[in-house]
Amino acid sequence: MVSLDQGGDGPSKVRQVTFRLRPGDGQGAEAHLDRQPYFQNMPRFLVHETAVHWVDTFRYLLGNPLSVYADLRRENPVIAGEDAGYVLFDHRDGVRAMFDGNRTLDHSTDSLRRTMGEALVEGRQGTISLLGDGSVWLRKFHAQSATMLLQADTWDGFSGDCVHALQSHVGSGILRGTELENTTRDYLGVVTIENAIYTSSEAGRKIELGTA
């Protein structure tokens, strides 16, 4: 596990986290029909189906956002809902997070579904980068080269076998009574933020959340 607060191994005093979603699966009239055809008919698509996972991730890393501004759009006319857009989150102490999603574009990787895109965690002492092969790199402030923190992904299964990990976690909670991390009450915060994202895009303004 790479710590964001570990001065020697991470960009302490994080100022911004960015994720660029680029799964490259949304072009043309046949977009999504081979795997999840219902994607074409969802009135709320990119945020409701996909970006909520990064909303949850940003909450885990940075805490609940204070406000959100979104600019969503549809690039593929066969899709009912939005398939691209920017979502900017304001967090405490001036820290920001950016979700930059576009399902019609891709990124450099041998498997577009491993990481679904690329990430940056930028701080005053350096930047951590997640690449499409699953490797994680640290470039210290003013440095011209980066050091590998985690090697490229070698796990079987979708996205580092995250689905199996979640199912195992929930199964253990049901069968053995172990504590669950993903409770419904906590996830309601994600639903609140999702609704604020759509409200922001429709209204063209920043929405204050009051979720801190």
**Residue 25 belongs to some domain of the structure:** yes
* Alpha carbon distance 130, 117 (integer Å): 8
What residues make up the domain containing 28? 14-155+192-204
User: How many independent structural domains does the chain possess?
Assistant: 1
**Residue 9 belongs to some domain of the structure:** no
The count of other CB atoms within 10 Å of the CB of residue 142 is 7
Angle, CA 140 vertex, CA 146 and CA 151 arms, to 5°: 35
- Give me the percent of the chain exceeding a pLDDT of 70: 93
pLDDT digits (tens, 9 = 90+) for 87-127: 999 999 999 999 999 999 999 999 998 999 999 999 999 99
**Residue 29 belongs to some domain of the structure:** yes
Beta-strand relationship, 117-123 and 14-21: antiparallel
Query: What is the CATH number for 70?
Result: 3.30.360.10
**Residue 167 belongs to some domain of the structure:** no
> Which one-letter DSSP state was computed for residue 87?
E
**Residue 32 one-letter amino acid:** H
**Residue 163 belongs to some domain of the structure:** no
Band of residue 196 on the pLDDT scale cut at 50, 70, 90: very high
Q: CB–CB of 60/53 below 8 Å?
A: no
**Residue 70 belongs to some domain of the structure:** yes
**Residue 35 belongs to some domain of the structure:** yes
pLDDT digits (tens, 9 = 90+) for 34-88: 989 999 999 999 999 999 999 999 999 999 999 999 999 999 999 999 999 999 9
Band of residue 189 on the pLDDT scale cut at 50, 70, 90: very high
Reading the block at residue 40, the tokens are 């074409």
171: Cβ–Cβ under 8 A, 6 or more apart, which residues? none
